[in-house]
Chain A
């Protein structure tokens, strides 16, 4: 069965430091991969997505992610974190069958220290 794993439940980084959030997926074919961000009391906002082509994708708010098929990973990165980046981050994979259904990881809470 398809699944998404985000190994880090909680990460704390200092403002200005670099960030990498890990995501591993389980899927036989080429996956559709997404990163969403959820601010407190808000819905989820799409940061970026990967369908095919260039394995390094750029998103909003200065985020990027790299698809590595050999590692079944789609890690999210940002070179310099801002205090406003503190939020919950979700990795997701499009389910088989092209129904539009997304399978989410359990999320990573990002805390930013001043």
Chain B
């Protein structure tokens, strides 16, 4: 009955590979997000989708492509992985974007290590 679940929890891969991280939420939320936490634990938003529509696209390399097949899922695909992509990636969801009354619910993160 996990609210926001991400898979895999750990991902170790080599430079140049393509990988995907999946996220699902069962909270009935309209909005989903991807955040990146770097080695210094700094959290920064990457993308946000509201009801399958992209609403936030921060300055992220176009090797990163989010995909939302429905409002309960937001996957992150990364092409041509680089060493600097190593980080913890968090998925989150909330009520309708623009209503901060609905706080973010975070998944437990996916630790990506690129070697």
- Chain B: residues with Cβ within 8 Å of the partner, total of 28
Q: Is B56 an interface residue when CB atoms closer than 8 A count as contact?
A: yes
By a CB distance below 8 angstroms, the chain B residues around A107 are 41-43
Kindly identify which residue among B4, B92, B97, B106 contacts A99, using a CB–CB cutoff of 8 Å: B97
Quick check: B98 and A106 within 8 Å, CB to CB? no
Q: Is B51 an interface residue when CB atoms closer than 8 A count as contact?
A: no
Give the interface of A toward B (CB within 8 A): 32, 34, 36, 41-46, 49, 51, 88, 90, 94, 98-102, 104, 106-107
Kindly identify which residue among B41, B98, B99, B106 contacts A43, using a CB–CB cutoff of 8 Å: B106
Quick check: B98 and A99 within 8 Å, CB to CB? yes
Name which residue of chain A comes closest to B97, CB basis.
A100
In the complex, chain B residues 51-77 whose Cβ is within 8 Å of any chain A Cβ: 55-56
Quick check: B106 and A44 within 8 Å, CB to CB? yes
Using known A-B contacts A43-B4, A106-B40, A107-B41, determine if residue A98 contacts B106 with beta carbons closer than 8 Å. no
Q: Is B94 an interface residue when CB atoms closer than 8 A count as contact?
A: yes
Quick check: B98 and A98 within 8 Å, CB to CB? yes
Number of interchain pairs (Cβ within 8 Å)? 66
Using known A-B contacts A43-B90, A43-B106, A99-B56, determine if residue A104 contacts B100 with beta carbons closer than 8 Å. no
Quick check: A49 and B48 within 8 Å, CB to CB? no
By a CB distance below 8 angstroms, the chain A residues around B94 are 100
Q: List 24 A-B contacts (CB under 8 A).
A: A32-B100, A34-B103, A41-B108, A43-B92, A43-B109, A44-B43, A44-B90, A44-B104, A44-B106, A45-B106, A49-B100, A51-B100, A51-B101, A90-B43, A99-B48, A99-B56, A99-B97, A100-B33, A100-B97, A100-B99, A101-B48, A102-B45, A104-B44, A106-B40
Q: How far is the CA of A43 from the CA of B37 in the complex (A)?
A: 11
Quick check: A94 and B106 within 8 Å, CB to CB? no
By a CB distance below 8 angstroms, the chain A residues around B100 are 32, 49, 51, 94, 98, 100
Quick check: A101 and B45 within 8 Å, CB to CB? yes
Kindly identify which residue among B42, B98, B104, B108 contacts A102, using a CB–CB cutoff of 8 Å: B104
By a CB distance below 8 angstroms, the chain B residues around A102 are 45, 104
